[in-house]
Structure 1
């Protein structure tokens, strides 16, 4: 519970660049990757999923369709990132219908990488696709703000590394050798991280919202502290001390920029982390309650249900501990 008492704080160790501190927790974890060789005509539907998804086109033809933007052609050497994992379709041409996945031969290459082959006589499309999870729910507010699709070619001019990386991936995909799948997966991780960072750097003009708050020299320090240690017994006074402001000024500024009070923000952050711990980590409700700073399992359960509208026990029983997206198809 966030109260109005004051606690000693030591803001000297909090870096002035709060955004950089939060982005330090930006750890992509590849769930699965696939190198695809698909003969025209082909079409594959990708359902909505809670993970980031990307597609790299080593050689076309390749088109992508989303409900919001319709069909878009992807050129050779282009990478498309779908931060929220929205549903979409890839095809060798917009007029190809149905699903070609049933006719593909899927071979596990080791680890979380597989090879997807579709035989035929048409032109060959070479793709490298995959799904990724974030290392922490701390970046969920950032991912929510991002557009549903980001194309590497659209941001290459703002990051001198993106262009050469796309070129290197094109070469690796065109001439597969021993270890190519592993190399491509590491390149994809790096490209995805740089695309997200590039988007952040190019979209910081707003005066309200999460990006504006994390860049604020005062509010950002408090946000970074909450994200770094969400289970700490934060009070309005201690957060104001980290921000270097009085409690009244901090509370007013926090609400003005983020549209909610610090207590509400911290509670939502804790519940996002709780869902992650209950689902993927398999911790008990009591263990999660202790980790997030609640005095009892009962008080945590009440807060969880108030914010998420479901009990933590139901979440623990219904969310699988291991995410297996079957290569995301």
Structure 2
């Protein structure tokens, strides 16, 4: 009895690890705007919602409060890191009740690939922050990613347990960060690594907290997400997916939509399109070979689906990526 139970737990644990591994494959960042803040109380800055953009704040010195509409205020101290996976609007301030100035008033230009600085003088305690907007390809953001909590926090002790993350953040926050050839690309990849390194322990924690990410605790939906993430090239239908996870079609479709936030069909298409885009931009395989690699038996069907998803043909997508490189 004990061994059967252990095997079941190990199997589910493995599935969760597989799913989190898929989510942790880097959301390929398309650009980063980062800024260093040197502020003394009183201060408060209102950030807008950021579309297809993750936002992170690393507290280098001092501390701050994070507030958002209908959310419990969060207090951060030196060494803490907070990530907003989907760029939820929020305020940073020395006090949770202080009204702030819009971010665009102090940083009017925030083009990806550039950096900025905020300096606010006051009579109160000093704080220093590293802040960044991490723009990603929205096609790579699965329903699982967009269902993450509005904010994820790693306290200083948790950051210290991830030395590569800690050292990367320290380097990015340094006022004398190295500048030279390839700096823009290096900065982009460094922030991409920081995002993945930050999400890894946070998602492990979420996997043990069904109230935060309940889809990981639903055996059928969790299994379906792993199947879609890792076996997307197979000829799935909604019926065959439901049978694969031991559920009826109606129960499977309803539970999937409720927990993931989109239909199984759209989630499968999203994963296939994500892989198709990667193959077109990161490999040299012939365009004609892509449909079969992502689960389409018909080249015409793939072409139509791709154009509907991205607004351009596969050929145009590859050409655009080559021009941007």
Normalised-by-shorter TM-score class: 0.5 to 0.7
Q: Which residue of 2 aligns with 1:69?
A: 71
Q: TM-score, normalised by structure 2?
A: 0.61
Q: Secondary structure at the match of 2:142?
A: helix
Cα pair 1:54 1:130 within 8 Å, conserved: yes
What stretches of structure 2 of length at least 5 have no aligned partner? 1-10, 180-185, 282-287
**Residues 120-164 of structure 1 deviation map (CA, whole Å, 9 limit, x = unaligned):** 5336532122244679978734334432122212994xx9825x6
Structure 1 residues 278 and 124: CA distance shift in structure 2, 3 A: farther
**How many residues were matched structurally?**
281
> Separation in 2 of the partners of 1:80 and 1:125?
15
By relative contact order (CA 8 Å, sep 6+), the higher-ranking structure is 1
Aligned mates of 1:299, 1:191 — CA distance in 2: 34
Matched, 1:125 2:127: yes
Over aligned residue pairs, what C-alpha RMSD do you find? 5.1
* Superposed CA offset, 1:64-113 (max 9, x none): 221121644322221112223212222344424322544459799xxx66
| Partner residue, 1:255 | 251
Q: Is the 8 A contact 2:80 2:156 kept in 1?
A: no
Match in the other structure for 2:215: 210
String of CA shifts for 1:12-46, please: whole Å, max 9, x gaps.
xx998222223333223444151413334452423
Q: How does 1:1-329 map to 2 (within 5 A)?
A: 17-25=14-22, 26-28=24-26, 29-30=28-29, 31-40=31-40, 41-69=43-71, 71-93=73-95, 94-99=97-102, 101-104=104-107, 114-122=114-122, 124-132=126-134, 140-153=142-155, 156=158, 161=161, 176-179=175-178, 185=191, 188-204=194-210, 210-213=215-218, 216=219, 223-234=225-236, 247=243, 250-252=246-248, 255=251, 259=255, 266-273=264-271, 276=274, 291-293=294-296, 295=298, 297=300, 312=308, 315-316=311-312
Determine the C-alpha separation between the residues in 2 that align with 1:232 and 1:267. Answer: 13
**How far apart, in 2, do the equivalents of 1:34 and 1:260 lie?**
36
Counterpart CA distance in 1 for 2:173 and 2:141 is: 34
Over 3 Å counting, the alpha-carbon distance change for 1:169 and 1:260 in structure 2 is closer
Q: Distance in 1 between matches of 2:54 and 2:254?
A: 25
Distance in 1 separating the partners of 2:308 and 2:193: 37
Q: Equivalents in 2 of 1:220, 1:202: separation in Å?
A: 13
Q: 1-side partners of 2:244 and 2:231: how far apart?
A: 23
- What secondary structure does 1:74 align onto? strand
Residues in 2 aligned to 1:313 and 1:239: alpha-carbon distance in whole angstroms: 22
Q: CA distance change for structure 1 residues 222 and 185 in 2, over 3 Å: closer, same or farther? A: closer
For structure 1, which runs of at least 5 residues remain unmatched after alignment?
1-13, 241-246, 305-310, 323-329
Greater fraction of residues in helix:
2
Offset of 1:58 from its aligned partner?
Answer: 0.9
